[in-house]
Amino acid sequence: MQLCLLLLLSALATTTNPGITARLTPRALEFGRQLGLQLLQSRLQKDHELNLKGSYHSPLLGTLTYTVPRIHVHELQMNDSTVDFVEDVGVRLRVQHGRVRLSADWGAQLGAIQDKGTAELRTHDLAVGLVLGVGVDGSGRPMVWSAACDARATNLHVEFHQGHSWFYNLLAPLLQRVLRQELNKQLCPELHRAIGQLEAALKDMRVSSQLDPFAAIDYSLLGRPLIMVEHGDAAIKGEFFRVGKCQQSPCSPLPAALPVPLPEALPVVHEPMLLLAVTDFVANSAAFTYFTAGALRRNVSGDMLPQRFPLQLRTKSLGLFSPQLQERYPDQPMELQLWARQQPLLSCRPDALHGTLFGSAEAFVVLPNATRIPAFLLNIDANVTGKPSISGNRLRGTVKLTGLRVTQVKSHVGPVEVTRLETLLKFGLWLFGVPWANKRLQAGIPLPTPHGLRLLNPQLSLQEGFMLIATDLQHQT
């Protein structure tokens, strides 16, 4: 049950303009139910402190007091259980005919007689109905509460061992009624305490994460999850921001309504467990953050270019486009200072991801005494398209250069023949730059998933304004 809820809260919330929108389907809840029962059964295979105390008064024998300090669960079967969405509230767990078998240490006192031993308790009709409300606090962290609880067992069998067990077994029919009443009193309070522990853990949940020295991402919830009968929809802020700064991106997130049913372009044979729509806003907030942080700057020297690159950083090579450069500084090494003069703009369309890059490049001549002399300043704008893909739980992709434009801003060595330079630069990027980028993009980056889970058979499609990921989930042991 907790796993279902954590899946819901780590991926969901509702607002008009989320950066990331998500949907959990009933198949995700069923996956969480099965996995949650497996984890519950494995964790219960140990001793549990109980400290149960009680008494039973018989007019004939007097008062029998008993203690049950600890129990050990041997069997827990809740196969006849379901989990579903409760509209406008949260998630409901229903268990019918639950089977529990446990052993317990016991101590008893009847008058001056003290005794101890073990007992075995069995029930095969445990019924639980639990509704968890799902919300969000003021800081964007998820919150939960018990909206309703009904738990009871109508049939409880007790068998004593050791000590004067033959005598207590005679009283077992009477004790079973008392124990059953005490058990039924404790079931919902115990479930409430478990929910309280989950709520306390959620209060400490991080809602942002630093990615590198420049950027962090805010994945807080933007509003209360919208729970429908068929699914749970919600939104995550999904905004990048500068480390140590609180700077609002000028890009406004666009609505990312999850299509119902799935778009025809997405070949799925069944309803996926999880849908994620990642909007343009996420990528553009990242571009804005790195741009304002000054991370989109690079100094390039001659030894950093491939030897076969058609342009080499020497006055002899670049002098072909600026004759005065070679005349004034014959065969001298050069350096380039590259930077983004404007935030890159990224958009998602059904055919591809589209990007526009606005760059500037200033060339310097490096004299023998290491003095750097400015030569010329160019603006270099590029249009690119990309095709993302998912494999091996990693986001991969390819990129293609679709346009390049070079303009002269100023020059200290006479006019620069930018048309010829642009043609040769296109050829160099096509021959070396794009393959270099694609090699690294094919290595991919790992997709963030909740601890212990991986994406199973994820499928990706591009929509107008967002990238849609449809996937199942798998538990990693």
Mean pLDDT of 17-25: 82
- Is 229 domain-assigned? no
Residue that is last in its domain, among 155, 173, 203: 203
Task: Determine the Cα–Cα distance for residues 175 and 56; give it in Å rounded to an integer.
Answer: 7
Who wins on pLDDT, 116 or 450? 116
**Considering only 114-128, 168-182, 198-212, which range has the smallest mean pLDDT?**
168-182
The answer to whether 356 touches 381, Cβ cutoff 8 Å, is yes
- Is 383 domain-assigned? yes
**Considering only 173-177, 211-215, 400-404, which range has the smallest mean pLDDT?**
173-177
Mean pLDDT of 11-36: 73
323 preceded by a cis bond (ω within 30 of 0): no
- Is 41 domain-assigned? yes
pLDDT of 356 reads: 94
Residues 45 and 190 in one domain: yes
Q: pLDDT-based confidence at 8, cuts 50/70/90? A: very low
pLDDT of 386 reads: 94
Residue that is last in its domain, among 153, 170, 203: 203
What pLDDT, in 10s, does the model give residues 331-375? Answer: 999 999 999 999 999 999 999 999 999 999 999 999 999 999 999
Residues 301 and 196 in one domain: no
- Is 358 domain-assigned? yes
Residues 197 and 316 in one domain: no
Q: pLDDT-based confidence at 263, cuts 50/70/90? A: very low
Spell out a b/e string for 380-401, using b for 16 or more CB atoms within 10 Å of the CB, else e. bbbebbbebebeebebbbebee
Which of these, 109, 116, 104, lies nearest to 50 by C-alpha position? Answer: 104
Mean pLDDT of 62-79: 80
Q: What is the mean pLDDT of the chain?
A: 83
Who wins on pLDDT, 362 or 209? 362
Residues 325 and 440 in one domain: yes
Residue 243 pLDDT > 90: no
pLDDT of 20 reads: 86
- Is 251 domain-assigned? no
CA dist 49 to 73, 105, 161, Å? 11, 10, 20
Residue 1 pLDDT > 70: no
pLDDT of 351 reads: 93
- Is 218 domain-assigned? no
What pLDDT, in 10s, does the model give residues 271-283? Answer: 899 998 888 888 8
Mean pLDDT of 443-471: 83
Residues 37 and 152 in one domain: yes
What pLDDT, in 10s, does the model give residues 218-238? Answer: 888 888 888 898 888 878 888
* Cα dihedral 121→122→127→128 (10° resolution): 50
Number of domains in the chain: 2
pLDDT of 12 reads: 37
Residue 445 pLDDT > 80: no
pLDDT of 47 reads: 62
- Is 19 domain-assigned? no
Give percent of the chain with pLDDT exceeding 70.
87
Residue 6 pLDDT > 50: no
Task: Determine the Cα–Cα distance for residues 70 and 51; give it in Å rounded to an integer.
Answer: 6
Mean pLDDT of 114-119: 86
Q: What totals of helices (H) and strands (E) does the chain contain, helices first?
A: 8, 23
**Considering only 65-74, 119-128, 143-152, which range has the smallest mean pLDDT?**
65-74
Residues 304 and 193 in one domain: no
CA dist 269 to 190, 262, 408, 469, Å? 41, 11, 54, 15
The answer to whether 108 touches 82, Cβ cutoff 8 Å, is no
Residue 155 pLDDT > 70: yes
Residues 38 and 160 in one domain: yes
Mean pLDDT of 266-270: 52
CATH of the domain at 173: 3.15.10.10
pLDDT of 46 reads: 64
Q: pLDDT-based confidence at 11, cuts 50/70/90? A: very low
What pLDDT, in 10s, does the model give residues 286-313? Answer: 899 999 999 999 999 988 888 888 888 9
What pLDDT, in 10s, does the model give residues 27-57? Answer: 988 888 888 777 666 666 666 666 777 777 7
pLDDT of 477 reads: 66
Q: Where are the beta strands (DSSP E) in 332-446?
A: 334-340, 345-348, 353-366, 372-391, 394-411, 445-446
Residue appearing with tokens 């209060």: 203
- Structural domain of residue 344, as residue ranges? 296-446
Residues 189 and 327 in one domain: no
Residues 56 and 199 in one domain: yes
pLDDT of 13 reads: 34
Residues 182 and 301 in one domain: no
* Cα dihedral 298→303→306→310 (10° resolution): 90
Residue that is last in its domain, among 165, 181, 203: 203
- Is 227 domain-assigned? no
**Considering only 259-268, 307-316, 422-431, which range has the smallest mean pLDDT?**
259-268
Who wins on pLDDT, 204 or 54? 204
Which amino acid is located at 83 in the chain? V
In the three-class reduction of DSSP (H, G, I as helix; E, B as strand; rest coil), residue 424 is classed as helix
Residues 309 and 193 in one domain: no
Q: pLDDT-based confidence at 10, cuts 50/70/90? A: very low
pLDDT of 50 reads: 66
CATH of the domain at 428: 3.15.20.10
Written as one string, the DSSP assignment of 250-276 is SPPPPP-PPPSS--TTS--SS--SEEE
Residues 306 and 434 in one domain: yes
Q: pLDDT-based confidence at 423, cuts 50/70/90? A: very high
Mean pLDDT of 64-85: 82
What pTM did the predictor assign?
0.78
